Chain A
Amino acid sequence: MRYVKAENAADAVQLLQDETGIARVLAGGTDVLVQLKAGMLEPDLLVDIKNIEGIKDIVAEDGGYRIGAAVSGAELGEHAGVVALWPGVVEGFELIGSTQVQGRATMTGNLCNGSPAADSVPGLIAANAVVRIAGPDGTRDCAVIDIPVSPGKISLGQGEFITSIFLPKRPERASDAYLRFIPRTEMDIAVAAAGVSLELDADGTCTAARVSLGAVAPTVLLVEGAANAIIGTKLDAAALAALSAACSAVCNPIDDKRGTIEFRTEIAGVLAKRAALIAYKRAGGQS
């Protein structure tokens, strides 16, 4: 295995493109190193992207924020602007692992690991976040929802890597929230998860919403039916029940050591309901 520090994005693309064996990008390393140690992954090349200029920066852009691919959870959580604008995205990412893991882990890495249980992804999809990809043909932008393909697999081509994630601007009365279920209070992988982003009008009626579910299907889901259940409502009990039911209806989970099909399906609806209420309150709604 070779370990190479990329000097710049073009250098990283070249290295990744030229590698005939298995190549991996190293940012936080909290997935890659575990896989290396367990022998699940035996790459021929690791490209460390942390030295690329700007890749550890959070930059305000068009009323939103561009978050570099190597920004750690600890750094993101300390950025007051992002926390204020997209609290649900930040809380989702900060749930991953321990304080120690947060010192290294990156949101981009969490996305690129391709897990349907990735804690930062439902929030990003609910936020309609967009990644910027560097590749042999230059840079391109892609919605987060189009990155995961199947468990462990993502849509990036040979030589491509993500350089940043863009979180868009928000209207006045808007917010988001993320909840996951784990058996302990920390240190587990989500058994089921829900991210909700919504916008309200002046009287607290929901005018727009995106609801996303994790760990209940081969990839993170965007559930339009669930969003429709709360749009036009003030998240009354009936709307929330409809939201829960819409979420449970689209679940297609597996039975495994972390949870049963029955449990995940049930819990996804509960989490979506609770996350919607948190987001509603954060957006200034009175429930």
Chain B
Amino acid sequence: MALDEHKKRIFKLIGTRPPRPDGVDKVTGRAMYGADATAPGMLTGRILRSPHAHARIKSIDTSAAEALNGVKAVVTSADFGLPEDESVRDVQDNCMAREKVLYDGHAVAAVAAINVSVAKQALKLIKVEYEILAHVTDVDAAMQADAPVVLAGRAMDDLPKGMSENVTHHFEFGHGDMEAGFAKADKIIERSFKTAATHQGYIEPHACLATMGSDGKGELWVCTQGQYYVRELCADIMDMDTSQLRVTASEIGGGFGGKTTVFIEPVALALSRKSGRPVKLVMNREEVFRASGPTASSSTDVKIGMTKDGRITAAHATFRYQGGAFPSGTVQFGAQSSFAAYDLDAVQTIGWNTMTNRPKEAAYRAPGAPMAIYAVESVVDELCQELGLDPLETRLRNAAHKGTKSSYGPTFDDIGLEATLEAAKLHPHYTAPLGPNQGRGLSCGFWFNFGGNTCVALSLNFDGTVGITEGNPDIGGSRASISMMAAEELGIAYEKVRTIVADTNSLGHNDVTDGSRVTFAVGLATIKAARDAIKKMCSRAAKIWDIDEDAVYWEDGFAKPSGPNAGSFEPMSIEEIAATSPNTGGPIVGHHEVNAEGAGVSFGVHLVDVEVDPETGATTILRYTVFQDAGKAVHPDYVEGQMQGGAVQGIGWALNEEYIYGEDGRLQNPGLLDYRIPVASDLPNIDTVILEIPNPGHPYGVRGVGETPIVPPLAAISNAVSRSIGLRMSALPMSPPKILKALKSKG
């Protein structure tokens, strides 16, 4: 087996829990986030946003704002070009409205001024004349033929009759004979579901500091999940060569997918170009809600047939998502992932996306999957109830496994679903007694996981310590896990490695920190960069020993002659090789560049106990256990952290979080008071059980773990609530008024 294909299964460091390298900075307040940077002569930027859900911009008069003392630049869409690429144009138009405002909160103008009070005053002096247009915010309403059209000319090519041209995407997946499948069923349940839009809810608002020189060179400091993608988008929008724009990712205060695109960055660059000074632009919380994020809201029909003994005979689902004011294809992931946990002979899923007068959807942790799997897992649970079947046994009975042709096409390799379900079955939580008004729910979850373009450079310092340069912002401890993988491979101490996140001009391209790809893909590239460095170090030792380099191997931080035939030499440590490297050929750097494939899918199972107050409809989460296949948990603390954090975001989605729009199309709750993300006192401990079914596509078996945990909570909690109150709930969030209303209808 070639060195780079070597699969490692016995570890010294992987699986331990060392302190993270950025820990001290983050507990002392030293870590620098998006809004924490300053530059000499820096101006403050502010954005004027539309109060209307849908309106034509008849005119914008910025003269009074420009005349205000202390205002250094005002920009509108007139200050931007018209990018040829339609998707880039959409991004630009989302950052600054052109011709029409498409949602409440859509940017129409921006100012840069000497301080925030002047900037705020200037915004008030900008006069925008609007012609108000009819608007639509509901997903089903937006698909009707007579719905107000959000953007004309963007409808899909083969739009069926009776659908609005708001509909932009259509997907179909599946296999098998549906009719024959349903004919074999003893019980068929059909149900419709709705889920509200939610926001990623990162605590750090979007922030950046932009500097554009008259020499055409730009610098951008920004909190983002992907500095390279920000650079590409901004360079396209600003009509610059990418080489001339350097983007540095700050520490990032949460992203969850919501910081994978740009909202304010091109505006800050435009203000800086116009004013000739650095411009800091920071969203406030209201802007975060009105103009960044959120997820799609959804409307779904599910139909599943089952035999008396619990075998699913056929499964069908239609998903309708709205992705806000620009075309969005997230429903594809919903349609693909919805039945991934099942080994089915007959399955079909259909997905539609429609535009609405809401902010353009941004990715949110397993985008599209939670609401799709919520609907499917609700119907599976109801079938189990109706047929008197154990919900865990039934899922095991139908579970996808190695060799299953998935509902979205590919055939699964080694996957951990059955092992995860078995672990849940054996866990004491599953059989613990329940009290009155209490219910237990469970759900499977799934995410594809991605790989993608990745570069890593591993530099051997002259003292034998190691620097890793990678290009993905660390959103949850990845510098620790990357350092661990490098140290493991090199056979040196974790403390000897320091990993940093590079700016765009210090390392080749890296895809965005998304798709649960970093520990997998950057880890893979790190291991391979380490192997590259090992090869070079062995070659240096061979040179010193004057033997063939194939006669040297690497073990525990030492180059060693591979046997008596190679010669008798004292093993040479990494320190010695490093120290002597100037005399043996110069500095030693290992590197690896790859468009990584082989990210193994990850399955999870969540178990939850709830109690519903029959007089108020309030739901309390009593107990919560997350089971998930991590492939190999590099740093188990941070794997558990992903499982716990994802579960709690899902709890929020299930119970209280929602975008509430008024009749006027304005967002009613753009703040953390009324957009209710879970607080500490809402929750019990979130117990975790990590399964390790190695991913064949990674040298250590790693699977991405970040996204799967947000998928099961929606259905798990809905199933628990439904069992507790004896009524099937079919809309999220299950806020107390909704549950109480359901209880009253039951009488």
Contacts and interface: CB of A to CB of B under 8 A. Distances in A.
Interface in B663-692: 668-669, 673-674, 676, 678-679, 681-682
B656 interface: yes
Contacts of B637: none
A216 to B, nearest CB: 14
Contacts of A191: 736
Contact of B674 (A38, A257, A270): A257
Contact of A258 (B615, B674, B681, B744): B674
Contact of B676 (A183, A256, A260): A183
A260 B738 CA distance: 10
B16 interface: no
A22 interface: no
Given A257-B668, A262-B737, A263-B740, A187 B618 contact: no
Nearest to B655: A183
Contacts of B741: 260, 262-263
Contacts of A257: 660, 668-669, 674
Given A263-B740, A270-B616, A183 B735 contact: yes
A180 to B, nearest CB: 11
A263 B737 contact: yes
Interface string A172-193: 0000000001011111110100
B286 interface: yes
B679 A183 contact: no
B615 A38 contact: no
A186 B737 contact: no
Contacts of A259: 737
Given A38-B286, A257-B660, A184 B673 contact: no
Contact of A185 (B681, B736, B740, B744): B681
B656 A187 contact: no
A267 interface: yes
B679 A263 contact: no
A266 B618 contact: no
Interface residues of B, number: 24
Interface residues of A, number: 21
Interface string B632-645: 00000000000000
A187 B674 CA distance: 9
Given A181-B736, A258-B674, A262-B737, A186 B618 contact: no
A187 B735 CA distance: 16
B668 A184 contact: no
Nearest to A259: B737
B618 A183 contact: yes
B616 A181 contact: yes
Given A184-B676, A185-B682, A270 B286 contact: no
Contacts of B616: 181, 267, 270
B656 A183 contact: yes
Contacts of A260: 737, 741
Interface in B294-308: none
Interface in B276-300: 286
B304 to A, nearest CB: 32
A262 B736 CA distance: 12
A259 B668 CA distance: 13
A170 B80 CA distance: 71
Contacts of A270: 615-616
Contacts of B681: 184-186
Given A184-B679, A263-B737, A189 B656 contact: no
Contacts of A266: 740, 744
A181 B740 CA distance: 13
Contact of B682 (A181, A184, A189, A256): A184
A259 B736 CA distance: 9
A184 B656 contact: yes
B737 A184 contact: no
Looking at chain B's contact residues, the main secondary structure is: loop
Contacts of A188: 673-674, 676
B220 to A, nearest CB: 27
A188 B678 CA distance: 11
A39 B741 CA distance: 37
B204 to A, nearest CB: 18
Given A262-B741, A267-B616, A270-B616, A187 B736 contact: no
B682 A263 contact: no
Interface in A232-287: 256-260, 262-263, 266-267, 270
A181 B484 CA distance: 48
B737 A181 contact: no
A28 B266 CA distance: 40
A259 B740 CA distance: 11
A39 B116 CA distance: 13
A262 B617 CA distance: 13
Contacts of A184: 656, 676, 678-679, 681-682
A75 B676 CA distance: 28
A263 B736 CA distance: 8
A256 to B, nearest CB: 8
Nearest to A181: B616
A186 B683 CA distance: 11
A39 B660 CA distance: 22
A189 B674 CA distance: 8
A128 B673 CA distance: 30
A259 B286 CA distance: 21
B618 A181 contact: yes
Contacts of B736: 181, 183, 191, 263
A145 to B, nearest CB: 27
B737 A187 contact: no
B679 A186 contact: yes
A174 B346 CA distance: 69
Q: Which of B615, B669, B682 has its CB near the most chain A CB atoms (within 10 A)?
A: B615
Interface in B691-747: 735-737, 740-741, 744
Contacts of A183: 618, 655-656, 676, 735-736
Contacts of A267: 616, 740
A1 to B, nearest CB: 10
A38 B735 CA distance: 27
A115 B618 CA distance: 24
A263 B617 CA distance: 9
Contacts of B660: 257
Nearest to B678: A184
Q: Which of A38, A188, A263 has its CB near the most chain B CB atoms (within 10 A)?
A: A263
Contacts of A187: 673, 676, 679
Nearest to A98: B679
Q: Which of A185, A188, A189 has its CB near the most chain B CB atoms (within 10 A)?
A: A185
Interface in A172-227: 181, 183-189, 191
A162 to B, nearest CB: 25
B408 to A, nearest CB: 36
Nearest to B613: A270
Contacts of B656: 183-184
Given A184-B656, A263-B737, A267-B616, A189 B673 contact: yes
A260 B740 CA distance: 11
Contacts of A258: 674
Contacts of B668: 256-257
A185 B679 contact: yes
Nearest to A273: B615
Nearest to A270: B615
Interface in B605-659: 615-618, 655-656
Contacts of A263: 617, 736-737, 740-741
Contacts of A262: 737, 741
Interface of B: 120, 286, 615-618, 655-656, 660, 668-669, 673-674, 676, 678-679, 681-682, 735-737, 740-741, 744
Lowest 6 A-B CB distances belong to which pairs? A263-B737, A185-B681, A257-B668, A270-B615, A257-B660, A183-B656
Given A38-B286, A184-B682, A262-B737, 7 more contacts: A186-B682, A187-B676, A188-B673, A188-B674, A257-B674, A263-B740, A270-B615
8 contacts: A39-B120, A184-B676, A185-B681, A257-B668, A260-B737, A260-B741, A263-B617, A263-B740
